[in-house]
Amino acid sequence: SAVISQKPSRDICQRGTSLTIQCQVDSQVTMMFWYRQQPGQSLTLIATANQGSEATYESGFVIDKFPISRPNLTFSTLTVSNMSPEDSSIYLCSAAGGGGGEQFFGPGTRLTVL
Amino acid sequence: TQLLEQSPQFLSIQEGENLTVYCNSSSVFSSLQWYRQEPGEGPVLLVTVVTGGEVKKLKRLTFQFGDARKDSSLHITAAQPGDTGLYLCAGANSGGSNYKLTFGKGTLLTVNP
């Protein structure tokens, strides 16, 4: 398994600003993912962070709004750009590398946009 | 698009009761994971089932993968307040380099003392 940390753990931001969330894994992993979750609800995949190339976005999510970086096999960032109150959510990163499709999750970043 | 139907969505029971959570799909998955998430934390992997018909036990939790690898269940015996949390099933098709998971909508379990 992998141990994943995220920074910040929570933040309160003003609309129109941007926030960058960092995700650090304690070992090299093949895949990293970014999810969004409303409290008590399931996870929605935003994108797959690809090392050395552009992220792969799911339907409804675009690079201009959620730019993602992955400079190496242990680190990724997600930026939430030009925020609105609708972006208030929990943002989670995960990592996978085993053949069983298992993913291991960070503790999440709780974002509130005023 | 693969879908996982998870039920029930909400469950509130008394300590000591038994419960079962179901995950059903019309699609075949190469593996299926069950996660538990507590408030303020990320999902924690409980188990992965891979073989059709497989049964795995984790203390009072029993996980089963359907013979056709399209459905799964989680049974908790003598539930405890510490079992309270959001339970998520997730199916994987990890053929090739595809590690994406399909998540169910989750079951929010409350075990009352």
Judged against a pLDDT cut of 90, whether residue B60 lies above it is answered with yes
Q: Give pLDDT, residue A98.
A: 63
Cβ of A101 and B92 within 8 Å? Answer: yes
Judged against a pLDDT cut of 60, whether residue B6 lies above it is answered with yes
Cβ of A42 and B101 within 8 Å? Answer: no
Cβ of A108 and B94 within 8 Å? Answer: no
Q: Which pLDDT band holds residue B2 (cuts at 50, 70, 90)? A: confident
Say how many C-beta atoms besides its own lie within 10 A of residue A40's C-beta.
12
Closest CA to A2 of A78, A84, A96, A110: A96
Closest CA to A21 of A94, A97, A99: A94
What is d(CA B70, CA B82) in angstroms, rounded to the nearest whole number? 29
B90 CA to centre of own chain: 7
Q: Give pLDDT, residue B109.
A: 97
The residue of chain B with its CA nearest to that of A36 is: B42
Secondary structure, 3-state, chain B: CCCCEEECCEEEEECCCCEEEEEECCCCCCEEEEEEECCCCCCEEEEEECCCCCEEEECCEEEEECCCCCEEEEEECCCCHHHCEEEEEEEECCCCCCCCEEECCCEEEEEEC
Q: Which pLDDT band holds residue B97 (cuts at 50, 70, 90)? A: low
Question: Which residues of A are less than 8 Å from B99 in CB distance?
Answer: 30-31, 96, 101, 103
Over residues B44-49, the mean pLDDT reads 94
Q: What is the pLDDT of residues A80-105, one digit of tens each?
A: 999 999 999 999 999 987 666 789 99
Cβ of A31 and B45 within 8 Å? Answer: no
CA torsion A93→A91→B84→B47, rounded to 10°?
-20
What is d(CA A61, CA A6) in angstroms, rounded to the nearest whole number? 21
What is d(CA A43, CA A55) in angstroms, rounded to the nearest whole number? 18
Q: Give pLDDT, residue A39.
A: 85
Say how many C-beta atoms besides its own lie within 10 A of residue A87's C-beta.
19
Over residues A4-27, the mean pLDDT reads 97
Question: Which residues of B are less than 8 Å from A25 in CB distance?
Answer: none
Q: What is the pLDDT of residues A42-84, one digit of tens each?
A: 999 999 998 888 899 999 999 999 999 999 999 999 999 999 9
Q: Which pLDDT band holds residue B96 (cuts at 50, 70, 90)? A: low
Cβ of A104 and B106 within 8 Å? Answer: no
Q: What is the pLDDT of residues B19-37, one digit of tens each?
A: 999 999 998 988 899 999 9
Instruction: List the beta bridge partners of residue B27.
Output: none
Q: Give pLDDT, residue A2.
A: 85
Tell me, yes or no, if A31 comes closer than 8 A to chain B by beta carbon: yes
A35's CB contacts (< 8 A; 6+ apart) are: A43, A44, A45, A46, A91, A92, A93, A94
